[in-house]
Structure 1
Amino acid sequence: MNQRRLAIMRLMDSRQKFTARELAERFEVSVRTIQRDLDALQTLGFPLYTEVGANGGYRVLPNRILPPLQLNQQEALGLFMMLEYLEQVPDFPYGAIREHLAEQYFSTLPPDVQERITGMRDHIAFIQHPGEHMHALTSKLLTAASEKRAITFMYHARSGWKKVNVYPFGIYYEQGYWYMPARKKDRVQLYRVDRMRKLTVLDQTDESVPALKAWLKQTEERAGEEVVLRFTAFGARMAASDVLFKTVVDQEWRGLVPHSEFSFTARRLLSYGPEVKVISPPALQEQVRSMLEQSVMQYRPE
C-alpha cells in the first residue's frame, strides 16, 4: 500500500466527510486518481460510505478498520513474542485480537520472517495460571469502568453466590488472576473476576467514580502501620519474585500496610512457611499465629 493511501485512511478516520475533489486538492493529484485510491481501500476492507447528491462525499462507517502496522523485522519479532506472552494471560480484555492479529499480520510477512518467528516459538515459553476463558467479561468490565457505569453480577463468595451491584474502577492482573476494585455504596470492595458470572452493565453513571490508577496511587499513599519481616536466605530469594515483598534488603522487608490488609498479608506470609518471621507489629504476628493454629487443628486426631 502506497503512502498516499495510508494518509487517506488516517485522514478519513477522523470521521469527517470529504469529497473526491477535496481529497484530490489536498494530495495534489487528479480526482480520478483519488477515486482509484478509494476503490482500492474499499477492496481491502476499509469501510467507506458514499453519500450522493450536491452535499455528498465520502465518510468512514463506525467499527472502522484502522491503518495497518508499519514494522521493521525486529519490531515484528518483538510483536509476536508479546502475543505469545499474552496468550498465557487468561481472560485478556478484547482477547480475540491476539488470534486475529497473529493470523492476519503473520500471513502478510515475508516467508523468511515467518520461518524465523515459527522457529523462535519453539525456544520460548511463558508459564502462567491457566484460568478460564471469559474474554467478554474483562472486556465489558473495562468498558464499564471507562464509562463510569454501574454493573450488576453474581459473585461466588465464601458464603455462596450473591448478587452484587457496584461501580468498577477498572481491572488489574496479579499473580495469575484479574482483580476488580469497585465502589459498593460508601466503601471499596475487591473482587476476583474469575468468580463473577452473569454480568450486566447498567445505564446509571457516576462521574465521581475514580479511575483505577488514581485509586491505586491513593491506596499506596494512605496511612498504614509499619510491618517488619525477617526472611531466611532462601525466603529472600522467594520474595524476589513476589510483587508484595520483592523490596527485601539484607533479608529484611519494611513497609506500611493498612490494617484492613493484615489478613491478606498474613495469608500471603503463610505460603513462606518457616522462611519468614514477622518482627512487628504484634497484631500481624497474632493473625499469622492464629492462622497457623487453625491449620494445625485440622490435623489433630478427633
Structure 2
Amino acid sequence: MKKPERINQMLRFINQKQHFTLQDLMHEFQISKRTALRDIAALEEVGAPIYAEYGRYGGYRLLNQIQVPPISFNSQEVFALYFAMQALQSFSNLPFQVSFRSIHEKFLNELSDNQRQEIERMQNRVAFRHTEQIADSAHLEPLLTASVKNKVLKVDYQKTSQTSTRTIQPISIYSMKGYWYCQAYDICKKAYRVFRCDRITSAEITEIQPLAGLNEMTMKSAHSLWKPSENAVQFKCLVDRKGAELFLQEHYPSMKLVHEKENMYIVGTYEPKELDFIIKYLAGFGKSMKIIEPVILKEKLRKYYKDLLNGI
C-alpha cells in the first residue's frame, strides 16, 4: 500500500478508535514500528489533533473527531468491487430485496469515463459462470435480520407435501448450487438444523427468549452444533485426490475428510431416513470414491448404478 493511501485509511482508523497504540497501527497496517512513528508524524502534519499518553496504559489519543476525506477507490479496487457484484446476477432473491440492476447502475454512474471504458473492455475478456437460482426464497430478509439481531422466528416449513410449524433461531444464511439455505437452531427439537429457504412459506418474529451464545456463532462454527442421533449409521469411504477436491466443493456437517497414513477418507454418519440422499451424494464421486463401510451402503450404491443403467 502506498503511503498516501495508508495515511488516508489511518485517518479513518484513528477517527473511529479515538485511543490507539503503536501496536494497533503496526498490526492493522502491517508496518514496522519505525514506519508507524513516521506515519503518526505525517498525521500530525495534516492536522490530526493527536497527543501522546504516557504510563502503563499509554498510547495516543485523538482530541476530537476529524473530518476525513471522501472514500475513493483506485482502479484495482474498482475492478475488484465490480467483479464481486457479478455474483449477484445469479439470484432473483437477495436479502433486503436489493436488485443487481440498481446496484450496477449506481456503481457505474460513480465511475470516471476512463474507469467505465476499462470495465467495458474487461467485460469481453473475463467471464463468470454462475449456478442460476433454482427456486425463489421469499423470506430471506427476516431470516437474515433474525440472525443478525438474535431473534427467534416461527416459520412454516414445507417438505414434500407436508407443512410443519417450526420455532427456530437463525444463525446464518448461505447460497449453494442454486438454493438459499438457513443454518438455525430448532428450539423445539433442541437441535441444529439446515433449512432450504425456498421451503419456508412464512416467517414471523416471536417474543421467545433467544438462546445465549448462538449470536456469537459464525457460519463455520455453527456446524459444531450438529449432533447425530442414536440411530445414525457411521460410514467411511476411500477417496483419491480428485475425490478430496469434490468433497471440499460440497460437504455437510455430518462428514469430514481425514488423512490416515498416505490415504484420504470421507468419514461421517447418516440417519437411516437419509439413505437415498447419501447414496446420490456418494454417486457423484464416481470412480474417485470407494465405500469401505458399511456393507449396506455398497449394496445400495451398486443397485443405484444398476437402476441408472436399466433406465429406472
1:99-248 equivalent positions in 2, closer than 5 A: 99-131=101-133, 137-184=139-186, 185=188, 186-208=190-212, 210=214, 211=217, 212-217=219-224, 219=226, 225=234, 227-230=236-239, 236=243, 239=246, 242-244=249-251
Aligned 8 A contact 1:171 1:178 in 2: yes
**1:279-301, CA deviations, whole angstroms, 9 ceiling, x for partnerless residues?**
323353345346557768983xx
SS at match of 1:194: helix
SS at match of 2:119: helix
| 2:88 is the counterpart of 1:79 | no
Residue of structure 2 in register with 1:63 after alignment: none
1:88 and 1:129 map into 2 onto residues whose CA distance is 7
| 2:294 is the counterpart of 1:281 | yes
| 2:271 is the counterpart of 1:260 | yes
Pick closer, same or farther for the CA change 1:246–1:99 going to 2, 3 Å: farther
Unaligned regions of 5+ residues in structure 2, if any?
A: 1-6, 19-46, 50-68
Residue of structure 2 in register with 1:20 after alignment: none
Aligned 8 A contact 2:279 2:300 in 1: yes
1:90 and 1:252 map into 2 onto residues whose CA distance is 42
Partner amino acid, structure 1, of 2:267: L
Aligned 8 A contact 1:230 1:279 in 2: no
State the identity as a percent.
19
Pick closer, same or farther for the CA change 1:295–1:215 going to 2, 3 Å: same
1:2-81 equivalent positions in 2, closer than 5 A: 69-81=71-83
2:92 and 2:86 map into 1 onto residues whose CA distance is 12
SS at match of 1:131: coil
1:256 and 1:87 map into 2 onto residues whose CA distance is 36
**1:181-239, CA deviations, whole angstroms, 9 ceiling, x for partnerless residues?**
3222122332111222222222323133622433224559xx994612356x9x74983
Partner amino acid, structure 2, of 1:124: V
SS at match of 1:149: coil
**1:155-190, CA deviations, whole angstroms, 9 ceiling, x for partnerless residues?**
221233333332222222223322123222122332
Aligned 8 A contact 2:185 2:192 in 1: yes
Q: How well do the aligned residues superpose, as a CA RMSD in angstroms?
A: 4.5
1:163 and 1:298 map into 2 onto residues whose CA distance is 38
Aligned 8 A contact 1:93 1:135 in 2: no
2:105 and 2:289 map into 1 onto residues whose CA distance is 47
**1:136-172, CA deviations, whole angstroms, 9 ceiling, x for partnerless residues?**
6223211102222222233221233333332222222
Deviation, 1:98, is: 4.4
Pick closer, same or farther for the CA change 1:118–1:175 going to 2, 3 Å: same
Residue of structure 1 in register with 2:32 after alignment: none
1:88 and 1:142 map into 2 onto residues whose CA distance is 19
2:71 and 2:104 map into 1 onto residues whose CA distance is 12
Deviation, 1:72, is: 0.5
SS at match of 2:207: strand
SS at match of 1:169: strand
Aligned 8 A contact 1:132 1:194 in 2: no
| TM-score where L is the length of structure 1 | 0.61
Deviation, 1:134, is: 5.1
Aligned 8 A contact 2:234 2:270 in 1: yes
SS at match of 1:79: helix
Aligned 8 A contact 2:173 2:182 in 1: yes
| 2:245 is the counterpart of 1:269 | no
Deviation, 1:75, is: 0.6
SS at match of 2:93: coil
2:208 and 2:281 map into 1 onto residues whose CA distance is 37
Unaligned regions of 5+ residues in structure 1, if any?
A: 15-25, 29-66
1:75 and 1:175 map into 2 onto residues whose CA distance is 28
SS at match of 1:279: strand
2:70 and 2:296 map into 1 onto residues whose CA distance is 57
| TM-score where L is the length of structure 2 | 0.59
